[in-house]
Amino acid sequence: MNFHTENTYQRLRFMRLAHNIGNEKHSNYHTREQILACDEPIGFDGVYRNVYKNQDVLRNKSGIMFVMGNYLGSNNEFDLPNVPRVESYCTLAEVKELCNRYDFEIGWHTWSHRNLCSLSQKEIMQEITAPFPTKYLRYPHGAYNDLVVECAQIAGYEKAYAVTQGVPDDPYRLYSNYVDWS
């Protein structure tokens, strides 16, 4: 199933954010129950293998799987000590499998997850150029500035998501918040 209905597309103006599915007490983790209880589209950043392993909770959910090119099939060691433990990421084939099986599309979360606001225009364009067709970009750390937004537009994205720095209804500065957070 693909979620290209107008309703779902409009709903993607706001998305909940999740990373891991697990029981760790950390903002990067949500339990299966929290994901199941979420009735809004979810953007999974990573995408972690524990999402793949818990994929049954994605049934009847919609959203976007935001992958990072440098870490496909690898792990989040680069993000230590911001994360409580090392977790593996899905391969590209696994993410595509999830998108084919459930109501999710693939999005881009840059190659390296560097803060785009600290980069030159050339570096930003390299980072945000995805190696597959996609309409959706998630800014690393949710961080953007005018130059980053301009680059996202030049790169042809239809929507670009921040986190809580974002604003509603601006397609290149979209607000998102964590699953189960108000």
Partner 1 sequence: MQTKQELENWYEQEDPWDYTITEDDIYRKHFYLTVLEDLDGTYERALDIGAGEGFITKDLPAKEIHAIELSDTAAKRLPENVKRVSTPIGKYDLVLVTGLLYNQYDHRAIAKMATDAASKHVCIGGIVDWLRPYVFGELIRSFEFPYREYLSAFKVYETRP
- Of 60 and 70, CB closest to partner 1: 70
CB of 120 to partner 1, least distance (A): 9
Contact between 178 and 16 (Cβ < 8 Å): yes
Site for partner 1 in 129-158 (CB under 8 A): 129, 131-133
Determine the interface stretch with partner 1 among 31-39, 41-49, 64-72, 162-170 (rule: CB under 8 A): 64-72
Q: Which of 108, 111, 161, 172 binds partner 1 (CB under 8 A)?
A: 111
The answer to whether the CB of 105 falls within 8 A of the CB of 64 is yes
Q: Please tell me what DSSP assigns to residue 171.
A: T
CA–CA separation, 177 and 66 (whole Å)? 15
> Measured from the CB of residue 80, what is the shortest distance to partner 1 in angstroms?
22
Contacts 24+ apart (CB under 8 A), 6-9: 8/41, 8/62, 8/103
* Span near partner 1 by CB under 8 A; candidates 2-10, 14-22, 47-55, 90-98: 90-98
Q: Given the rule CB under 8 A, which residues bind partner 1?
A: 69-70, 72, 92-93, 96, 111, 122, 125-126, 129, 131-133
